[in-house]
Amino acid sequence: RAKARGRATYQFFEPALAETAYADLVLESELAQGLTRNEFELYLQPQVEANTGQLSGAEALLRWRHPERGLLSPDRFIFVAERHRLMLALGEWVLREAAQTARRWREEGLIQGHGPMRIAVNLSRMQFNLDGFADTVKRVLHEVGAQGQWLELELTERMLIEDIEHAPTTLAALRAQGLTVSVDDFGTGYTSLAHLTELPLDKLKIDQSFVARLPDDVGAQAITRAIVQMAVGLGLAVTAEGVRTAAQWQLLAGWGCQQFQGDLVGSPMPVAEFEAWVKAR
């Protein structure tokens, strides 16, 4: 009887677990193949300066053009890549691709008449927490013939806190190479104010979950306003992401937010489309 019940339990749970594990395994091998078969693409989403209206740059957002499943967003596959360390190779591909694009823009004069036109790259905790990450960046820049000033790196609060012992050194080494360092999804993590003043940072990006609740939600107003004021007080730049309406823009700009990213300015687009968009401006 006990055996029968055990068996019943076994049958209830095991298929679901096995399916998940199997799906992950398939995805893992497909990810590795996808890298060698060049199935990954960068999309670029514009960022603009409120005061000047100038383009300050773009955020690189990873996409996977899967042969059967179509265009996949990072939320569908990044977590698997991180579990299997493939994220290191994938993350380096993103960095190299962004650096090459930034270099090509200088060669082709695409950036003329615009702002700094930095490309912002999202980092995975696996990349940032690895010893020698700043050296990896240096190597990639050297291989590509790109300058640190052309790129920005986006980290999350969680990544900084998990590696709080080494984070200041790594960040300092990255900034010494000219890279801009920003904290992504700010307000959703656990950065203490003390950490904020101790870490060598350049920019905070207000999480889009707060922006989405503007202009009406009083709680979101209080939080975003406090973040902008804190950033200004600490001498950090601040970007609002996920800005979709003019009302959101006006409110944030009134508080002192200088940089905007979101559908109101432009949605993420393939690199060639982004370049056409820039030329048409």
Size of site (CB under 5 A) for Mg ion: 4
Q: Specify the stretch interacting with Mg ion by CB under 5 A; choose among 35-43, 89-97, 150-158, 164-172.
A: 150-158
Of 213-242, binders to ligand C2E (CB under 6 A) are 241-242
Of 132-151, binders to ligand C2E (CB under 6 A) are none
Residue position matching structure tokens 């559908």: 263
Size of site (CB under 6 A) for ligand C2E: 23
Is residue 112 a contact partner of residue 55, using CB atoms and an 8 Å limit? no
Of 5-44, binders to ligand C2E (CB under 6 A) are none
C-alpha count within 13 angstroms, C-beta hemisphere, residue 59: 28
Closest distance between Mg ion and the C-beta of residue 121, in Å?
9
Member of 30, 154, 157, 163 binding Mg ion (CB under 5 A): 154
Closest distance between Mg ion and the C-beta of residue 185, in Å?
4
Q: How far is CA 210 from CA 173, 217, 225, in A?
A: 32, 9, 10
Does 122 help bind Mg ion (rule: CB under 5 A)?
yes
Does 66 help bind ligand C2E (rule: CB under 6 A)?
no
Length of the chain: 281
Of 78-117, binders to ligand C2E (CB under 6 A) are 78, 91, 94
Closest distance between ligand C2E and the C-beta of residue 252, in Å?
13
Q: How far is CA 110 from CA 27, 201, 278, in A?
A: 37, 28, 8
Member of 66, 96, 175, 244 binding ligand C2E (CB under 6 A): 244
Pick what 216 binds: Mg ion, ligand C2E, none; C-beta below 5 to 8 Å, kind-dependent. Answer: none
Q: How far is CA 71 from CA 66, 143, 161, 172, in A?
A: 6, 29, 33, 36
Member of 185, 224, 260, 278 binding Mg ion (CB under 5 A): 185
User: How do beta strands 180-186 and 55-66 pair?
Assistant: unpaired
Write out the two tokens for 142.
Answer: 């050297």
User: How do beta strands 118-122 and 269-270 pair?
Assistant: unpaired
Member of 3, 4, 75, 235 binding ligand C2E (CB under 6 A): 75
Q: How far is CA 247 from CA 120, 250, 251, 253, in A?
A: 26, 5, 6, 10
Does 157 help bind Mg ion (rule: CB under 5 A)?
no
* Rounded Cα distance, 53 and 117, in Å: 13
Write out the two tokens for 83.
Answer: 């579990």
Member of 74, 116, 200, 215 binding ligand C2E (CB under 6 A): 74
Pick what 182 binds: Mg ion, ligand C2E, none; C-beta below 5 to 8 Å, kind-dependent. Answer: none
- With left for phi above 0 and alpha for psi between -120 and 50, is residue 65 left, alpha or beta? beta
Member of 248, 262, 274, 278 binding ligand C2E (CB under 6 A): 262
Positions in the binding site for Mg ion (CB under 5 A): 122, 154, 184-185
Positions in the binding site for ligand C2E (CB under 6 A): 45, 61-62, 73-75, 78, 91, 94, 122-124, 154, 184-185, 208, 241-242, 244, 261-263, 268
